[in-house]
Amino acid sequence: MSYKITAPLGDKQITIETGKLAKQADGAVTVQLGETVIVVAAVAATKAKEGQDFFPLTVDYREKAAAAGRFPGGYFKREGRPTEKEILTCRLTDRPIRPLFPKGWYNEVQVQTVLLSADGENDPDILSIIGASAALTVSDIPWDGPLGAVRVGRVGGKFIANPTHAEQADSDLDLVYVGNATDIVMYEGAAKEITEADFNAALVYAQEVIQPLITAQKELAAKAGKPKRQITLNIVPDEILHEAKKLAGDRFVPALLTPGKLAREGACKAIQDEVGVKLVEKFGAEKVTKFVINDAFYYIQKEAVRSLILDGGKRLDGRTFDTVRPISSEVGILPRAHGSAIFARGETQAVSLVTLGTGEDAQEFDSYTGGKTEKKFILHYNFPNFSVGETGRISGPGRREIGHGALAERSIEPMIPLDTYPYAVRVVSEIMESNGSTSMASVCGGTLALLDAGVPMIRPVAGISVGICTDLDANKKIARYKLLTDIIGWEDHYCDMDCKIAGTEKGITGFQLDLKLKGIPHALMAETVEKARVARMFILGEMAKTLSTHRADISKYAPRIETIKINPEKIGLLIGPGGKNIKKLVEESGCEINIEDDGTVNIFSVSPEGMKIAREAIAGMTAEAEINKIYRGKVVTIKEFGAFVEFLPGKDGLCHISELANFRVKQTEDIVKMGDEIWVKCLGVDEKGRVRLSRRAAMEDRDKEMGTPAEQPPAGYENQPAGEPSGERPQRPEMRERRDQGPHRDRPQRN
């Protein structure tokens, strides 16, 4: 039997149904908003794999072309590897549900979302989070939910729950929020310099909006939910944990306070190895496995780190809780990159490279769910193994790298005027050293590299991560805490929060929250946001010492661009039949030429000569004839009454025989031949657009300007009278001869 329930989500209705699809899964639901429908199924293995010493949660999200009534691209017409959008939605779904599984439970869990219908207006990523929560809630899988999720936009100063793509286009906020009945669990998104006060107000608004969703899931579980299964947790036996603490003694505190990441890790590892050998000797290898040793020392180190922070008021590297690590930065470090920078904050170091491209370099992608299909600004993040002094599998970017790059990208993008800036822009952040918040280092390094490349950013962007160390009471509520500005790796690992916030001096542009807690109160988050603001102002000041604004010119290796505005009615003329004109121009100039529908023509070239060729050709092909202006033209047609001269690319006019010279011309070929290049002057344009040209007037003007003698007639023309004045209506020579000989002399006789 299927069960269905509806709940308001702002001014919209969301429907959750279970018991209809995927009935063999441990828990499965369909979620519908508008005409967008997804199915989410959750399954957990009945037992952990042999030797499993971690919680293997896999979250997958896939979009099907059929959901939008389309064929997938490519030769095989079948969906392939996940797109960036799908990977980011996987992470968006994974991060809030992961902390709510029992600690020490290592059975494999898979949560899979499939898009079944897409209306092009309602994005399914929010539905994926809601569906994962509902599927786990109605299943027998142990999980401490449910959760509610909503996307919040702001249009005209008013918050909107789950805006459509059309509404989002006018919004200055894109907040994805996940919470439980009382607290924040996760958020991420971007904004156009929203203030801290408005950001906190958006979080409060989102918390109110999701409450009906949480209530609806509880009602659904009451009707159709399964009893939660009994589980066994993998916990280190108390006797072994007690002995490990006894053997380690007080040595862990000085080891944790050892300066330098690698030295600190080495000092702690030495204690663990020594104690591990003694534990095996006492309890035997069967009871003291590698997993038991690692798990025991995780708890010991976690307890020691928290005690240092909460009881001793100390951080591992000796800083105060509000201090940002020392910052250093350089720009222009690489000769061929269009812009480059190094940004270092303590033992975190990022090298950023900028490439400026043409319109053809913008990233295009299919979108089954609506929204953007092109990106002019791209930021890619790479995290090699050597950045943490380790070896490992070398492959393409993983989900973490794609997620960190997306966070840095959306943090910087609002400050690049993409609507008016003609270049496509790519930033690559190569992490050289990692000890905390490399994504925020990528924001800072990327900003400096963009300024070095001459990109006219509205304002520089910086980012910082704030952590928290908590102590919980008997009700699992936060009894005491310390906020940690600019967390290092072990503070992230052993403490409870990684809150990344990026922005300018005026407001927030990007944000992401990850918790190991089940939730965090709004008042505490407001305090975190303020800590991040103070740190961001400091970092922006340090960055300004290196480079405070964009360079006036771009790299000599970057493509130069010139923009020409033409009459949109001339676009067809510029392109030519079948693209003939534009293809020829691209071949001759070596430039890339992009034409917009509004008549904007962007010319990209690394060659000044090629730029000149393209600029002059486009100006000529689209220009209008100017009366009294002299042109250099080419004779394209010879007639007995004169010559047609191409005086602008693709545009010609008639130079009547009477306007060829300052004397009477017998035959057109006596003065000009096919293919000759001659100077002509525009005498006028009639109502049909036909242009009258004069070689005689052009020669007279040029002779006068240069002080050269007037043109002399060729042999046989010595006694010929001068041609007719250019201002009179020209007549064909044969008509003048007939007029001189009488009106009827040469008229053909009728039979």
Q: Which domains does the chain have, with CATH numbers?
A: 3-224 (3.30.230.70), 238-310 (1.10.10), 327-390+397-546 (3.30.230.70), 560-622 (3.30.1370.10), 630-741 (2.40.50.140)
Say if CB 719 and CB 663 are below 8 A apart: no
pLDDT of residue 725: 41
- Tell me what pLDDT residue 750 has: 43
β-strand pairing of 691-694 with 377-382: unpaired
Angle (CA) 203 205 209, round 5°: 115
CB atoms within 10 A of CB 546: 18
* Two structure tokens written together for 267: 């000092």
Cβ atoms of residues 240 and 157 within 8 Å: no
- How far is it, in rounded angstroms, from Cα 178 to Cα 186? 5
Per-residue confidence (pLDDT) for residue 25, from 0 to 100 = 97
> What tens digit of pLDDT does each residue of 208-229 get?
999 999 999 999 999 999 999 9
- Is the peptide bond between 384 and the residue preceding it cis, with omega within 30 degrees of 0? no
Q: Are 448 and 345 in contact (CB under 8 A)?
A: no
Check: CB of residue 96 under 8 Å from CB of residue 144.
no
Cα dist. 273→249, 268, 420 in Å?
Answer: 14, 9, 60
Residue carrying the six token digits 């080891």:
255
In sequence order, the 6+-apart residues with CB closer than 8 A to the CB of 395 are: none
User: Measured between alpha carbons, how far is 582 from 592 in angstroms, rounded to an integer?
Assistant: 10
pLDDT at 729: 41
Rounded to whole angstroms, how far apart are CA atoms 192 and 502?
11
For 682, phi then psi, to 5°, come to: -80, 120
Closest CA to 37 of 29, 27, 25: 29
d(CA 600, CA 574): 12
Residue 34 near residue 121 (C-beta atoms within 8 A)? yes
Q: Which residues in the chain show pLDDT less than 50?
A: 723-751
**How far is the first Cα of the chain from the last one, in angstroms, to the nearest whole number?**
104
What is the secondary structure of 550-598 as a DSSP string?
--SS--TTSPEEEEEE--GGGHHHHH-GGGHHHHHHHHHH--EEEE-TT
- The alpha carbon of residue 328 and the mean position of all alpha carbons in its chain are separated, in whole angstroms, by 26
Residue 721: the pLDDT is 53
